[in-house]
Structure 1
């Protein structure tokens, strides 16, 4: 058993998988979770680094799913938490089923906050621990045809800033927000956005690069990291651009069928 113990959510693929791989490389025992059976195959990969790994399949959009994850710690001290689990949803809001947009809200906000509250209480009490929350530069942009997702990321980005201030007296506890742009993962497939300009784009970030940026910022105790220089520019521009213009720009990226309009010859 290693001295260090980390929880990584959304670890079956994408950014979460890469974060868990880095943590394992750095000698952390792992508790990894996702809402699909693929998490056990991922756990097998992480064990190749010589650390103890437990994989849990749980739906983190529910309180019961988060409780199952917390129960799997068996009371072990959590040194590091990467709250990375998230869910997207494309198409116009009026066309979305209530159950679908509620699951986005409950995964990205409710489950994330419940997990953070439970883990951070112990970290703050002992004045030691590191937390990485996966937000997004989408939180800076009104997300036409991705409105619920962008809204949840705006909440997460803002919440993390407020939380960081609330616990600032716990000098040994750090909360870092990782804010990537579009990443080459299963996100766009699962969000039914492969026919959009952003979903079909070949210029999305590599999840390994994003995870490394997040890990480095986490280890340094930084408050925020926007991954990728293009995303840094986009985030800076978003702060000074009217919301109506940002929404129209997002529409061109995320409107269903926009891939055929903008990139039809390449798709």
Structure 2
């Protein structure tokens, strides 16, 4: 595929939605810098290059300022036309049963690292008054996430942050879009130790479909996209349902031991 001369940075791109977002960028002709905190990022890059994409990689832990700085340094002063801030981490089980270091890692990956990276690249975009930002939020951000409390709270932050940043930049040529998927077929639930839960074992949305909808929303400058009709309905219902009721409903999806027997 021929390069369109534009450059995109995609985080959390080793697997799942992030890798599919990178594929979307590649198909559209973007040159790519993709990042993740695991060696699988090289395998992801090889699959993209096999289809003719120009791809560079960074293995960096974006839960740390050092990791964010490492990724930013790899940009080497180039103009970032699109930033797809997708890196994220989940964590199942009851909050008081979780290891506090893992709790902090979720917050630092999903919130702190994302904010640091957007602040750096966003300021570069503002200086030249051009750019696109896609933030991967979640419909989980609409629901108090019992047995997934920290993850849902971080996604509530990202959903809110994306709309606020978009409003602040409304008089510029920088667009901010928020991708808000529901449960998606990725490694997320296995890594979050949630394979004994209903949400971890039930049928999920296809990552490629989710990514395509997010990419299209970014390219058209839309504010947000909730992927899938079921998720659109759930997010609408969540807006008018008491938080206490939502938390109770979420227990039925995410509490350990709720997985249906095969």
Give distance in 2, aligned partners of 1:49 and 1:189: 29
Task: Give the match for residue 44 of structure 2.
Answer: 42
| Partner SS, residue 106 of structure 2 | helix
Matched, 1:206 2:241: no
* Pairs within 5 Å for 1:157-196: 157-170=159-172, 172-196=173-197
Give distance in 1, aligned partners of 2:153 and 2:103: 11
| Partner SS, residue 175 of structure 1 | strand
Scaled by the length of structure 1, the TM-score of the pair is: 0.96
Scaled by the length of structure 2, the TM-score of the pair is: 0.98
Task: Give the match for residue 17 of structure 1.
Answer: 19
Aligned-residue Cα RMSD (Å) equals: 0.9
Give distance in 2, aligned partners of 1:187 and 1:30: 23
Deviating more after overlay: 118-127 vs 43-52 = 43-52
| Partner SS, residue 8 of structure 2 | strand
Deviation readout 1:75-108 (Å, 9 max, x if unpaired): 1110001000000000000001110000000000
Task: Give the match for residue 104 of structure 1.
Answer: 106
Which 4+ stretches in 1 moved above 3 angstroms? none
Task: Give the match for residue 255 of structure 2.
Answer: 255
Deviation readout 1:16-75 (Å, 9 max, x if unpaired): 000101111111110000010000010011112323211111100000001000111111
Task: Give the match for residue 129 of structure 2.
Answer: 127
Number of equivalent positions: 260
Please tell me whether the aligned partners of residues 2 and 51 of structure 1 are also in contact (alpha carbons under 8 angstroms): no
Task: Give the match for residue 218 of structure 1.
Answer: 218
Task: Give the match for residue 158 of structure 2.
Answer: 156
Matched, 1:140 2:148: no
Give distance in 2, aligned partners of 1:66 and 1:247: 33
Unaligned stretches of 5+ residues in structure 2 = none
Give distance in 1, aligned partners of 2:47 and 2:81: 21
Please tell me whether the aligned partners of residues 130 and 174 of structure 1 are also in contact (alpha carbons under 8 angstroms): yes
Please tell me whether the aligned partners of residues 4 and 28 of structure 2 are also in contact (alpha carbons under 8 angstroms): no
Matched, 1:51 2:53: yes
Please tell me whether the aligned partners of residues 87 and 108 of structure 1 are also in contact (alpha carbons under 8 angstroms): yes
Please tell me whether the aligned partners of residues 14 and 185 of structure 1 are also in contact (alpha carbons under 8 angstroms): yes
Task: Give the match for residue 96 of structure 2.
Answer: 94
Task: Give the match for residue 236 of structure 2.
Answer: 236
Give distance in 1, aligned partners of 2:71 and 2:7: 14
Matched, 1:70 2:72: yes
